[in-house]
Amino acid sequence: MTITGIEKSHIFIRNRSIAAPTICARIFLLCLYLTPLASFAKAGASDNSHHNVLVNSMAFAFQYIAHNPFFYLFLSLALGYALGKVTIKGVNLGSTAGTLVVGVAISLPAFSVYGLSIHEPSLIADIFLMMFMYAIGMKVGPQFFSGIARGGFDFIVIGLIVVFTNFLLVFFGARLLSMEPGYAAGIISGSYTVTAVMGVAQSAVTSGAFSIPSGMTPDQVSANIAAGYAISYVLSTVFTILFIKYLPAMFGIDPVQAGKDAELSFSTGEDNEPLPTTHGFSNVGVLPIDVRAYKVQHQTLVGQTIEQLFNQYPHAAILKVVRGDKVFEASDNPSLEMGDIIGIRGDYHTLIDKGQKSIGLEVDEPRARHVEIEVADIHLGHSQLIGLTINDVMNKVGFGIYCKALFRLGHLLPLLPQTVIEAGDVLRIAGSDWCVKKAAEKLKGHVVIENTITESFYLAVSLMTGYFFGHLTLMIKGIPFALSASAGCMLAGIIFSYLRTRNPDFGGPMSEGARSFLQDIGLNMFVAVLAATVGPKILQSFQGIVVIKIAGLGLIAALTPPFISWLYGLYIRKMNPAILAGACAGARNSTPGMKAAQEICKTDMPALGYPVPYALTSAIVLILGYIAMVLS
């Protein structure tokens, strides 16, 4: 196998062997116990007192953090990522919630014990939040429009049921429970496990779209948002996974049989594959195809070019022609002559059953059989093939390629003959270099390639456009409504992603590795800044029985909407339970919930129902979170 220039530029290695929690914990302890800290200790410390050394070391550490806000950010990220990876019975916080917990754990004692405030430049939070929202828009853009336009009526309805039911329950529930401003937006963010809602809610506070009541400060409102998010996020994450996983059993449905029924309607399944542009995506692996050599002995083949034969026999591609001392590649497109030895690539059974009957005697000719196989990811845009099944697409494309995997919204879909191709999907194919290029042309797709210049350009244009339109304010009955810069950047990302998917000349698809990094670092940096700001105030948000209110309302808002959508899909639309469980998880923006459904159904079929409601609700919940903050 060879690795092309395209493939070389797209290998992102994920090292999972380093014990990140242990390393980060040791670094943090080292910061506290380094002996030079003693020289900076407060007056009165005794050289012989271990207790005083510890106290003074802690005091110095917090003073250093307070006076070096960038150190605080990196420390919160490092320990937050480590904490987020800690798994208890298959459940973990994740990097974002971990960063929030660590940030508050640092800023709260710094203020309450030592009287130190950590002042982070607000510009940092604004920039990284806008970058995060742009990355979200780039992810959901293609499916956001194509899912609405065609073939996903039930998935759209399920998404709308979940997102609007969640909003109504939280908004009116918070009013019924007489909760202070900020809690509703925080609970929507946490119960929906969409941290970005905190960002748009915060922007409503800072932009003036939300009028702060007398007796409250912006920091207190922000603290309420964070408190509502933190409690409801943890509970919603855990209970949504369990709820989605056991929904079929609650209704007396055998999930394994439901998975088999779904597979039967689509045919057979496929093994796991690395995500596009990640480490190992270009590995050929074991393919159910072979290259065999035959001597041309049938007059019907003589005079025909290789490309003509490609169109006649799409699943048996001629890749090499040996004529005496000459060897022709498929890209040379020679016309066949009697006695030529041709190397044909195709399915084992097809070659064995029909090779000698249709072509001639099989011979041992290494020059005809030595073909280097490439693997490429094709990002599908505007094409007449969109809306067809995998089986139909492969019959039309041909060129001896083999389809290895199909991805949608960064998730591997079951590769089944009846799986429908949508705009924005990534199709992984294997074949000779020339055949892969010809297939990409016929698919009217764009070979996944990372171009840092293009990405930087679109990032800058999207942030500029989103910022401008996000600050335009519309007055409705005296209440100012603004899109907010962050939501504007997300919409800019959706539009640019849609255009780039359908027009390769605009730069083609965004690298999934680059997009994932932008989404991850953007959100977690924003959360770290937020934690520094609200940490000193967050205890005030936990007075009385407010914790019980947040927990109860958060769980109701997290579980009731997918339950209603489950009833709709199961009894009204008679949907397959395995696919329906994936749709409910997508509408709830719960990837772990979808994984749990796959585990209990013992199939990848729930992934088919996940993308459309996920893409739809990812955008709508941000708008509803902003409205909840403005109207609270």
Mean pLDDT of the region 311-338:
81
Torsion-angle region of residue 426: left (phi > 0), alpha (psi -120 to 50) or beta? beta
- Indicate whether 309 belongs to any domain: yes
Residues 238 and 308 both lie in one domain: no
pLDDT over threshold 50, residue 530: yes
Task: Give the Cα separation of 347 and 192 in Å (integer).
Answer: 46
DSSP for 600-627, written as a single string: HHTSSGGGGGSHHHHHHHHHHHHHHHHH
Q: What is the pTM of this model?
A: 0.57
pLDDT over threshold 80, residue 350: no
Task: Give the Cα separation of 595 and 604 in Å (integer).
Answer: 8
Whether the CB-CB separation of 470 and 487 falls below 8 Å is answered with yes
Residues 260 and 293 both lie in one domain: no
Q: Which of 276-285, 292-301, 490-499, 552-561 has the largest mean confidence?
A: 552-561
Question: Who has greater pLDDT, 529 or 288?
Answer: 529
Q: What is the mean pLDDT of the chain?
A: 75
pLDDT band of residue 168 (cuts 50, 70, 90) is very high
- Indicate whether 330 belongs to any domain: yes
Residues 6+ positions from 294 with CB-CB distance below 8 Å:
341, 342, 344, 355, 356, 359, 360, 361, 362, 363
- Indicate whether 245 belongs to any domain: yes
pLDDT over threshold 60, residue 210: yes
pLDDT tens, position by position, 397-424: 766 677 878 887 666 777 777 788 877 7
pLDDT over threshold 90, residue 584: yes
In this predicted structure, what is the pLDDT of residue 271? 46
Residues 625 and 485 both lie in one domain: yes
Residues 486 and 620 both lie in one domain: yes
What is the domain extent for residue 494?
Answer: 121-265+477-502+513-631
pLDDT tens, position by position, 52-61: 666 677 888 8
pLDDT over threshold 70, residue 119: yes
Task: Give the Cα separation of 257 and 181 in Å (integer).
Answer: 47
In this predicted structure, what is the pLDDT of residue 181? 92
- Which CATH number covers residue 342? 3.30.70.1450
Q: What is the DSSP letter of 335?
A: B
Mean pLDDT of the region 570-574:
92
pLDDT > 70 fraction of the chain, expressed in percent and rounded: 73
In this predicted structure, what is the pLDDT of residue 174? 94
Residues 129 and 235 both lie in one domain: yes
Residue type, 276: P
In this predicted structure, what is the pLDDT of residue 148? 54
610: nearest Cα among 404, 380, 409:
409
pLDDT tens, position by position, 260-278: 888 777 654 444 555 554 4
- Indicate whether 321 belongs to any domain: yes
In this predicted structure, what is the pLDDT of residue 413? 78
pLDDT over threshold 80, residue 541: no
Residues 126 and 259 both lie in one domain: yes
- Indicate whether 388 belongs to any domain: no
In this predicted structure, what is the pLDDT of residue 56? 74
Residues 520 and 603 both lie in one domain: yes
Residue type, 255: P
pLDDT band of residue 299 (cuts 50, 70, 90) is confident
The CA-CA-CA angle for residues 325, 368, 401, to 5°, reads 140
- Indicate whether 404 belongs to any domain: no
pLDDT band of residue 281 (cuts 50, 70, 90) is very low
Domain end, chosen from 328, 354, 369, is at 369
- Indicate whether 520 belongs to any domain: yes
pLDDT tens, position by position, 326-335: 888 877 888 8
- Indicate whether 72 belongs to any domain: no
530: nearest Cα among 210, 118, 166:
118
Mean pLDDT of the region 110-118:
82
Residues 491 and 619 both lie in one domain: yes
**How many structural domains are present in the chain?**
2
Question: Who has greater pLDDT, 315 or 565?
Answer: 565
pLDDT tens, position by position, 352-405: 556 566 777 888 888 877 777 777 778 776 667 777 888 888 777 766 677 878
Mean pLDDT of the region 114-131:
82
Number of Cβ atoms within 10 Å of the Cβ of 8: 9
Residues 554 and 605 both lie in one domain: yes
Residues 349 and 233 both lie in one domain: no
Residues 310 and 164 both lie in one domain: no
Domain end, chosen from 369, 387, 422, is at 369
Domain end, chosen from 369, 397, 423, is at 369
Residues 187 and 254 both lie in one domain: yes
Strand-pairing partners, residue 145, are none
